[in-house]
């Protein structure tokens, strides 16, 4: 039976599409932006959707195997105001609330590389406090076959003592080393996702200069689906629900 997932801060569905390619099924989404929500409605017409994460009672939401979300990056982006947790757009606490209430078998959180220096420790500590072990690693679009960097940080977490946590073999509260792009990847997350990147592939994805502002913004915030796919396969492997080295053609 396919793993199920819920998508927070879904955007235009980059993680959702990647997870579906990895063999998972989306049960619900949360997305506030009207344009992005319209894109989701077009491609996932039968999936229930909420707008504002603040309004969602996650104790009443259908349980999922995996909870995923790229919480807003502006508070930690090098291009932003560098306010971190003091920024009103810092919504990691809302994602942590969802994780605490839903208790999924696995979590995927995504953000910009700037999170390593501003916010990662809060993320790791929050997950540890509610009983999750974590590992994290950077992944670029060019690693899965695209002609640009688009470097992002992916954080995977599993309930302490679970099958997923035993697979990753990580200690409960890892030290965060700011500036070390491979911090947290000693337990083979980086090795696994890079080894499985060949399964995703990719072509040139040039952006048309005729796109309007809403579409450019949505693309700018989106996760490359191929990156989400290899992470999704790694999570499936950790949960014993799949193999990250299996190609799409073979599934």
Token look-up 């569905």 returns 13
Q: Three-class SS string for 169-187?
A: CCCCCCCCCCCCCCCCCCC
Out of 26, 36, 73, 227, the active site residue is 73
Cα angle 228, 229, 233 (rounded to 5 degrees) comes to 115
Cα–Cα distance between 171 and 174 in angstroms, integer?
6
Q: Is 227 a catalytic residue?
A: no
Q: From CA 95, how far away is CA 98, in angstroms rounded?
A: 5
- Cα–Cα distances (Å) from 97 to 6, 57, 81, 126, 212, in that order, read 14, 10, 25, 10, 34
Active-site positions? 73
């Amino acid at each position: 039976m396919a793993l199920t997932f819920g998508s927070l801060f879904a955007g235009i569905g980059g993680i959702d599409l990647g997870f579906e390619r990895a063999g998972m099924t989306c049960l619900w989404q949360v997305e506030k932006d009207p344009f992005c929500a319209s894109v989701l409605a077009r491609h996932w017409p039968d999936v229930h959707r909420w707008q504002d994460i603040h309004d969602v009672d996650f104790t009443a939401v259908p349980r999922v195997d995996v909870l995923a979300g790229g919480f807003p990056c502006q508070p930690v982006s090098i291009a932003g105001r560098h306010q971190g947790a003091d920024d009103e757009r810092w919504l990691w606490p809302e994602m942590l609330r969802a994780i605490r209430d839903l208790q999924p078998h696995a979590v995927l959180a995504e953000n910009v590389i700037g999170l390593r220096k501003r916010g990662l420790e809060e993320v790791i500590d929050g997950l540890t406090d509610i009983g999750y072990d974590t590992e994290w690693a950077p992944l670029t679009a060019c690693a899965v076959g695209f002609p640009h960097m688009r470097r992002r940080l992916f954080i995977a977490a599993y309930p302490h003592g679970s099958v997923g946590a035993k697979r990753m073999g990580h200690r409960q509260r890892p030290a965060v080393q700011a500036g070390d792009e491979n911090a947290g990847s000693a337990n083979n997350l980086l090795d696994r996702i890079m080894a499985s990147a060949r399964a995703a592939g990719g072509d040139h994805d040039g952006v048309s200069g005729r796109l309007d502002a809403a579409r450019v913004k949505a693309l700018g915030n989106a996760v490359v689906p191929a990156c989400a796919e290899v992470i999704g396969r790694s999570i499936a492997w950790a949960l014993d629900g799949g193999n990250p080295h299996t190609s799409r053609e073979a599934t």
